[in-house]
Amino acid sequence: VLLPPITTIDTDKFAKIIVDSVPNRGRTTLVSTGSIINKMAAIFGTHIFVWSLVEADNEDPKQFETNTVFDSYSLISGRYEGSFYVPPFRNLKPSGFAFGKKTIIGLYENYLVAYETEDFFLKR
């Protein structure tokens, strides 16, 4: 099956790196390697979920800082379907996720936490 190209809604199109020279050594080095835009992606059914690390222009800064944000895209059409938040667990930030039909599973240090969801894109 040939999948359509998927373009994320992230506004960063190019890596933001800084290069500088070391004159006395005749070398060039990376001063900054830029920022990481997405932490991970997971596929479930006909959807790909991208863990976004960049706050959207229309996003509430407090919600973004507190929660983990996922953007959902269709693997059939390649279109953006929506974004959703996954809350912290015991004030811990997650290190990984898996997705099921109505479940999001998060890994928080020594805890495996299952969230039940009714979001439309997980039901399909």
Digits of tens for pLDDT over the chain (124 positions)? 566 666 666 655 555 667 777 777 777 776 666 666 778 889 888 888 999 988 888 888 999 999 999 999 888 888 888 888 999 999 998 999 999 888 899 999 999 999 988 765 665 5
What does the pLDDT read at residue 8? 64
Residue 59 has a pLDDT of: 85
Nearest alpha carbon to residue 8 among 46, 35, 41: 41
Sequence-ordered alpha helix ranges (H) in the chain: 61-66, 120-123
The CA distance from 121 to 82, in Å, is 9
Check residue 54 and give its pLDDT.
84
Residue 107's pLDDT is: 96
Which sign does the torsion angle of CA 25, 28, 32, 35 carry? negative
**pLDDT for res 7:** 65
Task: Say what the pLDDT of residue 14 is.
Answer: 59
Please name which of 83, 122, 85, 80 lies closest in space to residue 103, comparing C-alpha atoms. 122
pLDDT of residue 89: 96
Can you give the pTM of this predicted structure?
0.72
* pLDDT at residue 82 in the model: 87
Residue 24 is encoded by which pair of tokens? 């006395």
Euclidean distance between CA atoms 40 and 50, whole angstroms: 6
